[in-house]
Amino acid sequence: MEVFKDLIFGFGVVLQPMNLLYCFFGVLVGTLIGVLPGVGPPAALSLLLPVTFYVPPVSTVILLAGIMYGAMYGGSTTSILVNIPGEAASVVTCLDGYQMARKGRAGAALGISAFGSFIAGTITIFLLIFLAPPLAGFALKFGPPEYFALMVLGLSIMVYLARGSIINALIMVCFGLIIGTIGLDQMTGVPRFVYKSITLMDGIGLVQVVIGLFGVSEVLINVETTFKQEIFKTKVKGLLPNREDWKRSIGPIGRGTILGFFLGIIPGMSVVIPTFVSYVVEKKLSKSPEKFGTGMIEGVAGPESANNAASVGTLVPTLSLGIPTGASTALLLGALMIHGLRPGPLLIQESPEVFWGLVASLYAGNVMLLVLNLPLIGLWVKILKIPYHFLFSLILLLCIIGSYIINNNPYDVIIMVTFGLIGYLMKKFNYEAAPLVLALVLGPMMEKAFQRSLMMSEGGFGIFFTRPISASFFILALLILFSPLFLRKKRLREDLRAGD
Amino acid sequence: MGRILFYCNLFWILFSLFICVESYRLKLGAINQPGPGFFPFSAGLVMLILSLAALFQSIRGREKEEKTLRQEPFRWWNIVIILIAVTAYAFSLEKIGFLINTFLFICLLLKVVEPQTWKTAIIGGLITTIAANLVFNVIFRAQIPSGILGF
Amino acid sequence: MQKKTGTRIRFILIVTLACLLWIGSSQAQDYPKGPVQIVIPFGPGGLTDIFWRSTSEFMGNNMKGTIVLVNKPGGGGVVGTSFAVNSKPDGYTLVSANSDPLSMSPVFLPNVPYNPEKDVTYIAKLAAFAFTVSVRSDSPFKTLEELVAFAKANPKKLKCAVMGIGSTPHIIVEVFNRDAKIEITPIPFDSGGESITNLLGGHTDLCVNSLPSTKSHILAGKARVLAFCSPKRLPDFPEVPTMTEKGYKKSSIATGVGLAGPKGLASTIVSKWEEAIEKTLKDPKVIAIIEKLGGVVVDFKSGEGYKKELMTDLAMFKEIVPTLPVKK
């Protein structure tokens, strides 16, 4: 088949020693940068973009792909080890990954994360090759009403994200939505809740919030009482996932891959959302949903695969249409353009070695990631053995630097601390952080989509229901929102019967 | 537990009222031509309803009282110290510089929050500062300010 | 112990003094000491974004420093511009000074958080972008006249993607509406990239967008340009008419792109940049890259020159905008 011939050609390009070296270098640097909280693929790519200029085009592409992957994986490492999300998409990994680490299963968590990412990457690259053009066309069908409907759907799955009181979770959602409005309104330029503060005018960044809410608050909770309690069980039960872990994880990995890929295709879809969706799906499908949040490996395997799959998904519109879907892909495009390449429908025809080299390099990057990181798991786990009365200061330092580096603005650190305090209070009073984060991500997108849709329809609400895609999302959302009611009635009836 | 919940919800009620008022001042616009205040107002309104509901729930005492026994002293001062330390670090970073700031910060935390000997604190501070500097300022060429001593 | 402490203190004092002297003398000469952040007040994939990404490497080399590009989209460029303009004037946070947020938005939007005349230090103008009025290739409109005719018969029916309220494309649409006596509804997106995506997806009927963002789609046959908003025809597309030709001279607004920083920026920093930019724009490699983008006219002006141009535009817009049939 034509495609396989091209793919082999692509591999031929990638497997040259120089290019392999670039790939390795990219993955290594990417991982290191990604481990730093607050620095995700976009930052890593832009930090190293200048380097690519001295490198031939194809190698550039390979290098960048390696960096992207590395940074993604690095983000999960800190999430699992110290509950600091390395980047926004790793937030969900914190929920169960960190708990696994506390139980001495950090190795398994890191391992399943690496493997899950690898499997997801491999599958989605094939999907990319074969399905890119038709998928890109599908992606274009997403206009403002579809986005709005999708966001509403996203918020409705929130119902299942909550571990405890649903009302508290919903209050967190509202809180997140409100925080998301702080800053200049995108549609009218009017400052909202800014009170003349320059930092606030830019809005409250997701990364600062997340580092504070998860990382700092965790430290605060731990220092409440003396450290005689072991924060981390030092006896590590095996470094890699065992057979039972694999049995439980295969399903989530598969589902996460599909979910991540198809959601990632949608232009502008943040990589964060597929991870949340995957988590909720796994929770819903699990036989013991109440255990989620205490260290269920499904809660790591699914989202990590979704993360990787979504990143590959974002490449679909980028490569086939030349439309960037987010910060990382925009940088990739920019790098290509600097080299005089024009991504888009013509890229495959004009410069096949670049396109196929990229595709092959994605795969190589994937393999490289696994090869590089599996041995490192032993190293990471050793870090946990550092006594907590020293470790916690390192964690705090990492949080500070991570939040400062975003904008070189000390006020970002202040925001982080504030949310650290808020997160601590939330933990003490039983309010969950995850719904807040989801709302913070969805809120601004939702509002813009809503306003644009109304402009398109000149004020009529029908537009949401006359378009097939958005209508189906709304129906789905309604079903999800009201299904607990039906389930509760059933359970109530069963309880009553049992009580007799 | 019920009492704490009561105060929490009271807080949310006040907060949402504040948001609603502020959003109203931002102009709500019409439902089919929303103004800047529309979205936060709606969110605030929903929050108000939810927290009122939760408030009633807690008054009715549906929540079971949980009596947690504290076996060890609740060291709230640790928390305060950490918060102040981090805040101070943020503000002084650009004046004093990364190296000194980091060193002081680590020393302070090690000595105060979970008391170590002076030796441990200073050695820990030094190692961390040097390592951090190596990683961030040298390898990543990050822009962390040099401050007074120029390094 | 006493003797040791005495010597130690003296040593520290000497070292400190030496360092202070060293720092003091090396302030401006060492600029840039680290990466300089240039804020792009639009989303990735738009023209400003592509322009800077293509040229920042060369500029960085000429400045002997690294340029880090950061996207901060929103409000038609207002969000990013205000962020940069209100930050510390230490020369490490600059902004792509597009004419939209500086000469247009302050007229259009009620609460722009900066004064383009007083709060900004203009460093240089780099280039001007010409915009296109484009439709999808399967659109029924093959010429501008057909578009106008349809619009006259169906007010408010046509939707046009633009990149932000108060941006040049938005104004172009509004001026066009006024001069042709039609009503096309502008829909604001965060960037040129988003605008063209929504056009291709069928969510809007037309789009006023920059050429580079649209070019690859035109060449691939997915989109069609009805007219360029420029006084003269472009060499890449000699068969496409301009708005000026068609009688809509006022709609041929080009947007300028330059570099600026917060007020109070040291003049040494400004002149260093001016030099570097002028050198970069004369570099044949850069010229070749810019030509490939299409629709970009290199137009170097000093900071003062750019400021004058923008203030003139600002005054003109203050005059035009109240006459426009714009619904807020």
pLDDT tens digits for B82-108? 888 888 888 887 777 777 788 888 888
Judgement on whether residues B86 and B128 belong to the same structural domain of the protein: yes
Q: Cβ of A414 and B87 within 8 Å?
A: yes
Residue C23 lies in a domain: no
The Cα of C35 is separated from the nearest Cα of chain B by a number of Å equal to: 7
User: Would you state the pLDDT for residue C328?
Assistant: 40
Residues C149 and C224 reside in one and the same domain: yes
Report the residue from A223, A392, A408 with minimal CB separation from B75.
A223
Q: Chain A: nearest CA to B40, how far in angstroms?
A: 5
Q: Tell if the CB–CB gap between A183 and C156 is shorter than 8 Å.
A: no
Interface of C with B (CB under 8 A): 16, 19-20, 22-23, 34-35, 66, 92
* Percent residues over pLDDT 90 in chain A: 3
List chains adjacent to chain B, taking adjacency as at least 3 C-beta pairs closer than 8 Å.
A, C
Average pLDDT, integer, range A424-444 = 86
Q: What is the mean pLDDT of chain B?
A: 74
Same domain, B39 and B12: yes
The answer to whether the CB of A81 falls within 8 A of the CB of A100 is: no
Between residues B127 and A235, the one the model is more confident about = B127
The whole-number pLDDT of residue A348 equals: 64
- Best of C36, C39, C52, C53 to substitute, by most chain A Cβ atoms within 10 angstroms, is C53
Mean pLDDT of A206-213: 86
**Do C153 and C242 belong together in one domain?**
yes
Contacts of B149 in chain C (CB under 8 A): 16, 19
Please tell me if residue A144 touches chain C, with a CB cutoff of 8 Å.
Answer: yes
Would the CA dihedral through C172, C173, C176, C178 be positive or negative?
negative
Q: Percent of chain A, pLDDT > 70?
A: 77
What mean pLDDT, rounded, does chain A reach?
78
**For residues A142 and A164, what is the distance between their CA atoms, to the nearest angstrom?**
34
Asked if B104 is an interface residue toward chain A (Cβ–Cβ < 8 A), one would say: no
Please indicate, yes or no, whether residues B112 and B87 belong to a single structural domain of this protein: yes
| Nearest Cα residue in chain A from C292 | A340
Indicate whether A86 pLDDT > 50.
yes
C17 domain-assigned: no
For an interface test with C, the pick among A60, A141, A186, A331 (most C C-beta atoms closer than 10 Å) comes out as A186
Q: What are B29's two structure tokens? A: 């616009």
pLDDT above 70 as % of chain C: 85
Mutation pick from A192, A320, A338 vs chain C, by most beta carbons of C within 10 Å, is A338
Same domain, B16 and B42: yes
Q: Which residue has the higher pLDDT, B115 or C98?
A: C98
As a whole number of angstroms, the distance between CA C71 and CA A494 comes to 55
How close A369 comes to chain B (CA, Å)?
20
**Is A337's Cβ below 8 Å from some Cβ in C?**
yes
Q: Is B68 on the interface with A (CB under 8 A)?
A: no
Last residue of a domain, one of B27, B59, B91: B59
Beta-carbon contacts of residue C256 (< 8 Å; ≥ 6 apart): C97, C98, C99, C125, C127, C128, C129, C299, C306, C309, C310
Same domain, yes or no, for B53 and B15?
yes
C241 preceded by cis ω (within 30°)? no
With cut-offs at 50, 70 and 90, classify the pLDDT of residue C41: confident
Domain end call among C209, C232, C251: C251
Structural domain includes residue B144: no
Number of domains in chain C: 2
Taking the Cβ of residue A338 and every Cβ of chain C, the question of whether any pair is shorter than 8 Å is answered with: yes
Q: How far apart are CA C43 and CA A264, in angstroms?
A: 18
C298 burial via Cβ count (<10 Å: 0-12, 13-18, 19+): middle
Taking residues C41-65, report their average pLDDT. 80
- Cβ contacts of A337 on chain C, cutoff 8 Å: 50, 53-54
Residue B109 pLDDT more than 70? yes
As a whole number, mean pLDDT of residues C315-324 equals 76
Closest CA to A154 of A432, A486, A449, A476: A476
User: Residue B71 has what pLDDT?
Assistant: 53
| Residue numbers of the domain that contains B132 | 76-139
Q: Which residue of A has its CA nearest to B133?
A: A401
In this complex, do B150 and C66 lie within 8 Å of one another by their Cβ atoms?
Answer: no
Q: How many CA atoms lie within 13 A of C37 on its CB side?
A: 25
Inter-chain Cβ pairs, chain A and chain C, closer than 8 A:
151
Touching chains, A (3+ CB pairs < 8 A): B, C
Alpha carbon distance A417, B84 (integer Å) = 9
Compare CB distances from A429 to B4, B73, B116 and report the shortest one's residue: B4
Q: Do C63 and C50 share a structural domain?
A: yes
Residue contact C35–B143, C-beta within 8 A: yes
DSSP calls for A348-393: HHH-HHHHHHHHHHHHHHHHHHHHHHHHHHHHHHHHTTS-HHHHHH
- Residue A328, helix vs strand vs coil: helix
A461 touches chain B (CB under 8 A): yes
Q: Which residue has the higher pLDDT, A50 or B151?
A: A50
Same domain for B134 and B80? Answer: yes
Considering only residues C33 and A326, tell me which one the structure prediction assigns the higher pLDDT: C33
User: Is there a single domain that holds both residue C244 and residue C158?
Assistant: yes
* C20: pLDDT strictly greater than 60: no
Into how many domains does chain B fold?
2
Q: What is the mean pLDDT of residues B45-60?
A: 84
Using 50, 70 and 90 to split pLDDT, how confident is the model at C22?
Answer: very low
Tell me, what's the pLDDT at A306? 92
Q: Which chain C residues contact residue B141 at CB under 8 A?
A: 34-35, 66
Q: Are residues B43 and B83 in the same domain?
A: no
Contact list, C201 vs chain A (CB under 8 Å): 140-143
B148 and C19 within 8 Å at the Cβ level: the answer is: yes
C82 contacts A184? CB cut-off 8 A: yes
Work out the minimum CA distance from C286 to partner chain A, whole angstroms.
10
Looking at residue A474, its pLDDT comes to 87
pLDDT on residue B147: 37
Report the DSSP pairing between strands A191-192 and A183-184: antiparallel
Cβ distance of B34 and A454 shorter than 8 Å: yes
Tokens of C57: 């490497």
Res B42: pLDDT: 87
Provide the pLDDT for residue C25.
Answer: 41
Looking at the structure, tell me whether residues C167 and C223 fall in a common domain: yes
**Does residue B141 belong to the interface with chain C, where contact is any CB pair within 8 Å?**
yes
Are B46 and B88 part of one and the same domain? no
Say yes or no for a CB contact (<8 Å) between B12 and A171. Answer: yes
* The predicted structure's pLDDT at residue A235: 52
Find, among A128, A74, A44, A35, the residue nearest to A304 by Cα. Answer: A74
Give me the interface pTM, i.e. the ipTM.
0.82
Helix (H) or strand (E) holding C148: helix C144-153
Give C104-130 pLDDT, tens digit per residue: 778 776 677 888 888 888 999 988 888
pLDDT (average), residues A94-113: 85
The pLDDT, as a whole number, for residue A47 is 61
In a mutational test of the C interface, the residue from B138, B141, B149, B151 whose CB has the highest number of chain C CBs within 10 Å is B149
Asked if residue C6 is part of any domain, the answer here is: no
Q: Within an 8 Å CB–CB cutoff, is residue C165 touching chain A?
A: yes
Q: Where are the alpha helices (DSSP H) in chain B?
A: 2-25, 38-59, 76-96, 98-112, 118-132
Residues C185 and C228 in one domain: yes
pLDDT of residue C128: 84
Please check whether residue B126 lies inside any domain of the structure.
Answer: yes
Check which CATH number belongs to the domain holding C38 and give it.
Answer: 3.40.190.150
Q: Which residue in B has a C-alpha nearest to residue A403's C-alpha?
A: B90
C187–A329 C-beta distance less than 8 A: no
Name the residue facing C16 among B141, B142, B149 (closest C-beta): B149
Co-location of C226 and C162 in the same domain: yes
The pLDDT of residue B145 is: 43
Pick from C193, C221, C251: which residue ends a domain? C251
- The overall average pLDDT reported for chain C is 79
- Residue C211 — very low, low, confident or very high, per pLDDT cuts 50/70/90? confident
Residue C284, number of CB atoms within 10 A of its CB: 7
What are A400-423's pLDDT values in tens digits?
887 877 666 778 888 999 999 999
In tens, the pLDDT along A46-62 reads: 666 656 666 776 777 77
How far is A152 from A174, CA to CA, in rounded Å?
Answer: 13
pLDDT of residue C259: 92
Helices (H) and strands (E) in chain A — how many of each? 24, 2
pLDDT tens track for A264-281: 888 777 778 888 888 888
Give the pLDDT confidence score for residue A54 in this predicted structure. 66
Domain map (residue ranges) of chain A: 2-499
Kindly state whether A126 is in contact with chain B, defined as any CB-CB distance less than 8 angstroms: no
Q: Which residues of A touch C82 (CB under 8 A)?
A: 184, 201
Residue range C87-91: average pLDDT?
85
Of C44, C57, C203, Cβ closest to residue A50: C57
**pTM for this prediction:** 0.77
Q: B97 CB near a chain A CB, below 8 Å?
A: no
Q: Do B141 and C20 touch (CB under 8 A)?
A: no
Nearest to B143 among C16, C19, C34 (CB): C34
For a pLDDT cut of 90, what percent of chain C falls above it? 3
Q: Are C242 and C229 in contact (CB under 8 A)?
A: yes
Q: Which of A346, A409, A455 sits opposite C219 (nearest CB)?
A: A346
Inter-chain residue contact A326 with C44, CB threshold 8 Å:
yes
Q: pLDDT of A446-492, one tens digit each?
A: 888 888 888 888 777 778 888 888 888 888 888 877 776 666 666 66
Residue C151 lies in a domain: yes
Identify the domain boundary among C251, C273, C295. C251
Query: For residue A495, what pLDDT is reported?
Result: 62
Write the pLDDT tens digit of every residue in A332-376. 766 666 666 666 666 666 666 667 777 777 777 778 888 877 777
- Assigned token pair, A389: 């009365």
The arithmetic mean of pLDDT across residues C72-79, rounded, is 73
Mean pLDDT highest for which of A35-39, B86-90, B146-150, C74-78? B86-90
- When pLDDT is cut at 50, 70 and 90, the band that residue C180 belongs to is confident
| Residues of B with Cβ-Cβ distance to A417 under 8 angstroms | 83, 86-87, 90
C124 and C37 within one domain = yes
Range of the domain at C220: 131-251
Q: Tell me which chain B residues have a C-beta less than 8 angstroms from the C-beta of A413.
A: 86-87, 89-90, 93
H or E segment at C3? helix C2-25
At residue A500 the predicted structure's pLDDT band, cuts being 50, 70 and 90, is: very low
Q: Is the pLDDT of residue B72 over 60?
A: no
- Res A220 pLDDT > 80: yes
Contact list in B for residue C22 (CB cut-off 8 A) is: 150
* Same domain assignment for residues B8 and B41: yes
